[in-house]
Amino acid sequence: MTRRAGCLLALFATLGVVAPGIAAAATAEIRVDEVQMKQLALRLEQAQPTEVASLRGLQARVMSRAADVWLVSAPAAGVVQGVHVVSGERVNAGQPLLRFASPWLAELQRDTEQANAQLAQAQTQRVRDENLFREGIVPQSRIEQSRAAESVARAARDEKLRQAKIAGVSRGGMFAELSAPFAGRVGEVSVSPGQRVEAGATLARVTREGPLAVEVLVPRASVGSIAPGARLRVGAADGKVVGVDPQMIDGTQMAMVRGTLAAAPGLLPGQAVEAEIDTTLRGVRLPARALVRSQGRTVCFVATGTPGSFVAQPVQVLSEDAREAVVSGLAADARVVVEGTAALKSMMNAGD
């Protein structure tokens, strides 16, 4: 017997409590007589069978939907010339966000102009060959070659135009105005004027305003009762469950449920919130003070049927608020200790 256990047993003996630690450890049973129950102020209540219409008070985090996030990246190695927006600012589609400079942009504009010239030359050659063919001077194959050359030149020109559009190249040659792809809110600006960046570096993030995503932690015992499409709420925002991950999160007895939410005032990405999910679960209802948390688990002290005998019964919490809880793992007619649990917890730990 450890010194700590011996001290606790001595304390209980002073109170008139007989709690053999070795027996409690072996049988997970705690025994007290009628007098000791009064001294420890133990009071019991019978659990009530119930159904949970919704899981409340679930820890959750609001996020932007992946499809609604656009990363503004550097089209090439270069320098940020100017920043036109700040984090949190609302922007319109096409609104300039940053001004960027790079020698590669000048090369891209030169290549685009060269591709335009080559296309014009190919078009002129095709028209000339068509006229010569009508006069019977050149064969049909000459026209086909001219038309093929024009198609190749047009494809090369269109590719350069697409690159220039993506890069935001302006007529200034080596400068580009990087713009918002859609209306939304600037989530973050990662650079400042004068800063040098590498190609592909993230410069800013723009998030489309609208529906949000939410990740909700749900007790293991409740996962089976949640299906995609179930109603989900965060405050005044309404939404639905879109997926349930059956894998337990490492080191916990919780699983992840993902959903979407309608946008609501005051609801922002990254915000920690409490969520509610509609479901139907069978369990037992009891006062929240009957729950005892010890060594990473939640238990209730349940009367065994033998007078003065109690066991620490592990339970899964389905829902809980300040006054009451609904749990699984208890018999519907279980009688649980609702007052005096601290003393029983000390006796249980003394026997470990």
Q: Would you state the pLDDT for residue 250?
A: 74
Whole domain around residue 295: which residue ranges? Answer: 3-52+281-351
261 token code pair:
């939410």
> Do 106 and 38 fall within a single domain?
no
Task: Please state the pTM of the whole predicted model.
Answer: 0.53
266 token code pair:
């005051």
Indicate which CATH number applies to the domain containing 74. 2.40.50.100
> Do 101 and 200 fall within a single domain?
yes
The strand pairing partners of 186, in sequence order, are 206
Indicate which CATH number applies to the domain containing 276. 2.40.30.170
Rounded to 5°, the CA angle 349-38-346 comes to 10
> Do 276 and 325 fall within a single domain?
no
> Do 125 and 184 fall within a single domain?
yes
Residues of the chain with pLDDT under 50: 1-27
Neighbours of 11 (CB within 10 A): 14
Q: Would you state the pLDDT for residue 23?
A: 29
Half-sphere exposure of 324 (CA within 13 A, CB side): 10
> Do 166 and 202 fall within a single domain?
yes
> Do 229 and 252 fall within a single domain?
yes
> Do 84 and 191 fall within a single domain?
yes
Query: Exposed/middle/buried for 133, CB within 10 Å: 0-12, 13-18, 19+?
Result: middle
> Do 71 and 201 fall within a single domain?
yes
Q: Would you state the pLDDT for residue 15?
A: 36
Secondary structure of residue 14 in the 3-state scheme: helix
> Do 189 and 75 fall within a single domain?
yes
Quote the CA–CA distance of 98 and 74 in Å, as a whole number: 10
> Do 319 and 228 fall within a single domain?
no
Which residues fall within 8 angstroms of residue 119, CB to CB, at 6 or more apart? 150, 153, 154, 156, 157
Residue where a domain terminates, one of 150, 175, 208 = 208
Q: Would you state the pLDDT for residue 28?
A: 67
Question: What is the b/e burial string over 160-190, where b = at least 16 CB atoms within 10 angstroms of the residue's CB?
Answer: beeebeebbbbeeebbbbbbbeeebbbbebb
Quote the CA–CA distance of 61 and 274 in Å, as a whole number: 8
Neighbours of 351 (CB within 10 A): 23
Indicate which CATH number applies to the domain containing 30. 2.40.420.20
> Do 20 and 77 fall within a single domain?
no
Residue where a domain terminates, one of 247, 280, 313 = 280
> Do 86 and 163 fall within a single domain?
yes
Rounded to 5°, the CA angle 304-309-312 comes to 70
178 token code pair:
């990087």
Q: How many domains does the chain have?
A: 3
Cα–Cα separations (whole angstroms), residue 67 to 21, 60, 207, 237 = 59, 20, 9, 20
Q: How far is CA 42 from the centre of its chain?
A: 43
The strand pairing partners of 300, in sequence order, are 313
Residue where a domain terminates, one of 280, 302, 336 = 280
